[in-house]
Chains A and B, each alone.
Chain A
Amino acid sequence: MAIITVDGLSIETEPGRNLLSVCLENDIYIPHLCFMEWLDPPHASCRLCYVEVEGKAGPVPSCTVSVASGMAVKTDTVEVRSLQRTALKFFLSAHKVECKVCPANRQCPLQEMAKFLKVPLKSKDLNPRLKEKDLEALQPCFEYYPNRCVLCGKCLHTCERVKGQSLLTFAGRGIDMTVSFYGGLPNEEISCEECAECAAVCPVKAILLVTG
């Protein structure tokens, strides 16, 4: 057993476990988007789950930290919050904020984090940068909304887990990056239509299954 302190609270857990998981289980909220507990190494791309760990220089993403006994963690420092707010502002500047017509409305992590971090959904100081197309068809049976997508990679990793190899991939670079589809595998056991795990796991409903 390892005992760590998070924001002064003492937590008993197994050594080697993922710090973000441990915090979330103990009702200590840390903003995050791309984290999937079973994924090793962690994707660590959203850069939201920053915390400060005593003895480490500067904030570190908590999803990349393994718990060790005696670890002292702070989740609510000025530097951590500042990084989280900036990251969220960046996300929102590349996100079409149309909550009313969005199927993720009220279950959207962006809304939740904006509320928690007190960040306005429409930023005043960053100009929005959206992609040209609002909607793309992903073969064979999905609709993809590039301007909703937060590129957390959950769909890719889930697909790889289910099918052994991901049928989805990141495409393009930099600000133009999107999620794209290779097309179905020949003779697959479960078709994409039956599976649709990628759509289910998407936190912002950027992938939707088209039925009928």
Chain B
Amino acid sequence: MSSPETIRQRFAEIAEKAGTEKAAAAGRTVPKIHIGMATCGIASGALETKAAFEEAVAAQGLEAEIHPVGCIGHCYAEPWVIIDYPESGFPPIFYHEVTPGKAKMLTKLFLAEGDPRFEHVYGATVENEMIPSVTEFPRFNKEKRLVMEKCGKIDPERIEEYIAEGGYGGFAQALEGSPDAVIDTIEDARLRGRGGAGFPTGRKWRLAREAQGEEKVVICNADEGDPGAYMDRTLLESNPHQALEGLAICAYAVGAQKAVFYVRAEYPLAVKIITQAIEQAKEAGLLGEKILGSDFSLEVEVFQGSGAFVCGEETALIRSMEGHRGMPIHRPPYPSEKGLGGKPTVINNVKTLATVPPIIEKGADWFKSIGTENSPGTAIFSVVGDVNHPGLVEIPTGVTLRSLIFEVCGGIAKKKKFKAVQIGGPSGGCLPEEFLDTPIDFDSLIQAGAMMGSGGMVVMDEDTCVADVSRFFLDFTQKESCGKCTFCRIGTHHLLEILERITEGEGKEGDAEQLELLSREIVKGSLCGLGRTAPNPVLTSLQYFKEDYDAHIHEKRCPGMMCRPLIAFYIDLEKCARGCDACVGVCPVDAVFTTRTRKKGIDQELCVKCGECVVACPPEYDAVKKVSPPHLAPVIERPPETRTESKKESS
């Protein structure tokens, strides 16, 4: 019964059905409007855009197919649409920042009248002779997508679309062979865990396969919790089946009967989509009893995590699933030996599992041909911060940080200079310009003092204070510490206290040394990965930006001009325009006053350093200046009468 032929035949039937449907859809000539509808798209107004298209299409009496898809990772362009209107004679066109107004306009002018409005076109999605194609932009042509390949192309709520694009082929292929053959392929491909630490996935699976125990469990870790990271959420929202397929292959390989998606409850859309995906896969006969006529059966369920950062740590994750407080326990024993309910358990990140199906389908050699030798494949980063084109990026490993930041993500915004990049979120490190030519792979980043982490990347320009950034991350890890072990519970609190002191201008002689000393001990002494990596932002910024700390401690000066107690705003009277009142209205505390020359000054005693006046001052004057330390601000006497006046008004 469970012959490879049966499996192949059963799967071919499913694939054929999906293929026919796709061909039928492709054959229809009505215009198709693809809209990115993941959480990020919805947050930027995609629902309104979709409604506007629907309304306009109906009002114009047109026929058009609106196709909700997932996220393509181009956050700067949200909400985006691709209009595929073959009869117009144009190739499919990518439009960015499509507001409801733009949607109505495009419906009327493009769909009804055939004019694609060149001034709004971002680019055609394919190369052609009429309009420039997006493939000419580095953001599109430097990427290499294996994990995100189908994201933004298919409707994540319809399994047929995934299957029609070749989905579940890898799973069917895996079932035709032996579980050991699957592990061999993954080991041969040298796939390393994408959750952060880069542990060889094949070895983890092998350990669990060989572990004693009738029942085994596999878990997909989607408890993403770093500030600024959203890769896992996007993947689950845009293409849930690829991770599900990877999880099913993993379960087959290790001999598990049960699989779980551990998704944080703060990701309601991801929870909904993955739950639905499991149901659909079960209906299609790709999950459940005797899958595709084989002897393999698998139950998959979703577990909603309560959103504690520490629950991304595998032992804490397991504890929380067992109904306990999410606190890590000492390893060994590792979960692959003794995990959920004492059963051997494999826990893999969403990105790791989503990488598995293409490897099984195309082979280990194909995978190894991508990226570097020791970290083959791709890396997914959510690049945020001071770059022109923030978003989700998938690049082959080995691409340099410089290429990622300056080519793929369009360089530093507002023509500022690059200062630092924080890689790997709160557990990662802060790297300066000298490291921009570091290739992105597990080993090179660790060597530099950072880590791949789960893939958060914050790019910072010259107006950034790295001491304050460290304080921000320590504030996060300190709050997220479960409190179990001494070094993390009390140690990170002391780190934060010292950093707060420094950024408030109260830094003492010896504070930098104390920070380093405590950090090194916390790294060595903590129980789990959270504590052991929490001091990384401090250690790397101390190593590469010591002068910033020294300036805070010894000169009470903040070089990035971010720490409020260490800066002052003043108005350059040479530049200030007589009679202009732009800054007066925006000041929340009436600190801006008019001098006797009808120019403006700032009352340093009242100023709360919010910076609103800088924003309000017209760029042609650019008269509001920031200095550090604050005593460098020139004193402009406030005429006494303006003082009483403002006091009267405010009272």
Mark contacts of B465-486 with chain A using CB atoms, 8 A cut-off: 1 yes-contact digit, 0 otherwise: 0000000000000111111111
Assembly CA distance A133 to B482 (angstroms): 20
CB–CB B329/A170 < 8 A: no
Known: A44-B330, A44-B527, A125-B514. A90 touches B487 (CB 8 A): yes
Quick check: which of B377-385, B413-421, B449-457, B517-525 contacts chain A, the rest being far away?
B517-525
Interface residues of B in 44-87 (CB under 8 A from A): none
Are A172 and B483 in contact, CB atoms less than 8 angstroms apart? Answer: yes
Q: Does A64 contact B (CB under 8 A)?
A: yes
Cross-chain contact A175 with B490 (CB below 8 angstroms): yes
B497 proximal to A (CB < 8 A): yes
Chain A contributes a number of interface residues (CB within 8 A of B) equal to 34
Tell me, yes or no, whether B505 is within 8 Å of chain A by CB.
Answer: no
Encoded as 1 (CB less than 8 Å from any B CB) or 0, chain A from 48 to 85 comes to 10100000001101001000000000000001001100
Minimum distance in angstroms from B626 CB to a CB of chain A? 31
* B494 beta carbon closer than 8 Å to chain A: yes
Contact B489 A151 (CB under 8 A): yes
* Chain B hits for A59, CB < 8 A: 524
A45 & B486 in contact (Cβ 8 Å cutoff): yes
**Min C-beta distance of B34 to chain A, whole Å:** 43
Q: Pick the residue among A42, A94, A174 that contacts B330 (CB under 8 A).
A: A42
Whole-angstrom distance between the Cβ of A37 and the nearest chain B Cβ: 16
- The 8 Å CB contact of B521, one of A46, A86, A127, A170, is A86
**Within the complex, which residue of B325, B478, B491, B518 is in contact with A170, where a contact is CB–CB below 8 Å?**
B325
Contact present for A177 and B494 (CB under 8 Å): no
CB of A171, distance to nearest CB on chain B (Å): 9
Render B285-323 as a binary contact track against A, CB cut-off 8 A, 1 for contact. Answer: 000000000000000000000001000000000000000
| B345 CB to nearest A CB, Å | 15
Q: Is the CB of B479 within 8 A of A170?
A: no
B486 touches A47 (CB 8 A): yes
A50 closest partner in B (C-beta): B525
Please classify the interface of chain B as helix (H, G, I), strand (E, B), loop, or mixed, using the class held by over half of its residues. helix
Contact for B486 among A42, A87, A126, CB less than 8 A: A87
A134 within 8 A of B: no
Contact mask for chain A residues 169-188; partner B; CB cutoff 8 A; 1 contact, 0 none: 11011111100000000000
CB <8 Å contact, B486 and A174: no
Chain B CB within 8 A of A41 CB = yes
Contact of A91 among B327, B486, B492 (CB under 8 A): B486
Residue of B nearest to A46 (CB): B486
**Once the chains bind, are B483 and A90 in contact (CB under 8 Å)?**
no
Give the total of B residues in contact with A, Cβ under 8 Å. Answer: 30
A residues less than 8 Å from B368 (CB atoms): none
Q: CB within 8 A of B491: which of A82, A90, A176?
A: A90
Q: Are B525 and A86 in contact (CB under 8 A)?
A: yes
Give the docked Cα–Cα distance between A61 and B514 (Å): 24
Which residue of B325, B480, B524, B527 is within 8 Å of A58 (Cβ)?
B524
Q: Are B524 and A175 in contact (CB under 8 A)?
A: no
A50 vs B514: C-alpha distance when bound (angstroms): 22
> Which of A58, A82, A126, A170 gathers most chain B CB within 10 Å?
A126
Q: Which of these, A83, A94, A151, contacts B525 with CB under 8 Å?
A: A83
- On whether the beta carbons of A86 and B518 are closer than 8 Å, the reply is yes
| Closest CB in chain A relative to B614 CB, distance in Å | 35
B486 and A90 contacting across the interface, CB-CB below 8 Å = yes
Docked-complex contact B518 and A45, CB < 8 angstroms: no
Which residue from B327, B480, B483, B521 sits with its C-beta under 8 Å from A83?
Answer: B521
A111 interface residue, CB < 8 Å from B?
no
Answer yes or no: A129 CB below 8 A from chain B CBs.
Answer: yes
Given contacts A47-B485, A61-B330, contact A173 B490 (CB under 8 A): no
In the complex, A90 Cα to B494 Cα: how many Å?
9
| Smallest beta-carbon distance B179→chain A, Å | 29
Query: How far, in angstroms, from A173 to B478 measured CA to CA in the complex?
Result: 9
Within 8 A of A (CB), among B205-260: none
B483 touches A173 (CB 8 A): yes
Task: Indicate whether A147 reaches chain B with its CB closer than 8 angstroms.
Answer: no
Please report the C-alpha to C-alpha distance between residue A61 and residue B524 in the assembled complex, in whole angstroms.
Answer: 11
The reply on B643 being an interface residue by CB < 8 A is no
Residue from A86, A172, A177 having most chain B Cβ neighbours under 10 A: A86
Q: Is the CB of A93 closer than 8 A to any CB of chain B?
A: yes
Is there an interface contact between A174 and B527, defined as CB atoms closer than 8 Å?
Answer: no
Residues from chain A with Cβ under 8 Å of B482 in the complex: 173-174, 177
- Give the nearest-CB partner of A125 in chain B: B514
Residue among B325, B485, B494, B521 making CB contact with A45, cutoff 8 Å = B485
How near does chain B come to A167, taking the closest CB pair, in angstroms? Answer: 15
Point out the residue from A42, A87, A94, A170 that lies within 8 Å of B327, measured CB to CB.
A170
Q: How far is the CA of A58 from the CA of B526 in the complex (A)?
A: 12
Q: How far is the CA of A151 from the CA of B327 in the complex (A)?
A: 13
CB distance from B526 to the nearest CB of A (A): 7
CA distance A93 to B490 in the complex (A): 8
- Please tell me if the beta carbons of B490 and A129 are within 8 angstroms of each other in the complex: yes
B524 lies within 8 A of A174 (CB) = no
Closest beta carbon of chain A to B186's beta carbon, Å: 27
* Other-chain residue from A41, A61, A125, A173 in contact with B480 (beta carbon distance below 8 A): A173
Whether B526 pairs with A47 at a CB distance below 8 angstroms is: yes
| CA–CA, A42 and B480, complex, Å | 23
Within the assembled complex, what's the spacing in Å between the Cα atoms of A176 and B485? Answer: 13
A33 to B281, CA, bound (A): 51
Is A177's CB under 8 angstroms from B527's CB? no
Residues of chain B within 8 A (CB-CB) of A173 are: 308, 479-483
Shortest CB–CB separation between residue A152 and chain B, in angstroms? Answer: 10
Chain A residues with Cβ under 8 A from B497's Cβ?
Answer: 127, 129
Q: A47-B486, A174-B493, A176-B483 are in contact. Are A41 and B329 (CB under 8 A)?
A: yes
- On chain A, the residues within 8 Å of B492 by CB distance are 174
Complex formed: what's the CA distance from A127 to B525 in Å?
Answer: 20
Chain B CB within 10 Å, residue with most, of A45, A93, A176: A45
Contact A175 B486 (CB under 8 A): no
Contacts A90-B491, A175-B489, A175-B493 given; indicate if A47 touches B527 (C-beta within 8 A).
yes
Decide yes or no: A170 and B527 within 8 Å by CB, A64-B330, A129-B490 being known contacts. Answer: no
Q: Give Cα A174 to B16, complex, Å.
A: 55
Assembly CA distance A58 to B523 (angstroms) = 11
Chain B 502-547 residues near chain A, CB threshold 8 A = 514, 518, 521, 524-527
Interface digits, B81-106 against A, CB 8 Å rule (1 contact, 0 not)?
Answer: 00000000000000000000000000
How long is the Cα–Cα vector from A126 to B517 in the complex, in angstroms?
A: 12
In the complex, which residues of chain B have a beta carbon less than 8 angstroms from the beta carbon of A44?
Answer: 329-330, 485, 527
User: A42, A64, A93, A175: which contacts B478 (Cβ < 8 A)?
Assistant: A175
Complex-state Cα separation, A87 to B480, whole angstroms: 20
Residues 173 to 208 of chain A near chain B (Cβ within 8 Å): 173-177
Instruction: Give chain A residues whose Cβ lies under 8 Å from the Cβ of B491.
Output: 86, 90
Are A177 and B483 in contact, with the CB atoms below 8 A? yes
Least CB distance from B33 to A in Å reads: 46
Q: Which residue of B lies closest to A87 (CB)?
A: B486
Which residue of A is nearest B511, CB measured? A125
Are B483 and A129 in touch, CB under 8 angstroms? no
23 A-B pairs within 8 Å (CB atoms) are namely: A41-B329, A41-B330, A41-B333, A44-B329, A44-B527, A45-B485, A45-B527, A46-B486, A47-B527, A64-B330, A86-B525, A90-B489, A90-B491, A90-B494, A93-B490, A129-B490, A129-B494, A174-B479, A174-B480, A175-B493, A177-B483, A177-B484, A177-B489
Known pairs A50-B525, A91-B490, A151-B483. 14 more at Cβ < 8 A?
A41-B333, A45-B484, A46-B485, A47-B525, A87-B525, A90-B491, A127-B494, A169-B325, A170-B327, A174-B478, A174-B483, A174-B492, A177-B482, A177-B484
Binding site for A on B (CB under 8 A): 308, 325, 327, 329-330, 333, 478-487, 489-494, 497, 514, 518, 521, 524-527
Q: Which 4 A-B pairs have the closest CB atoms?
A: A177-B483, A90-B490, A174-B481, A44-B330
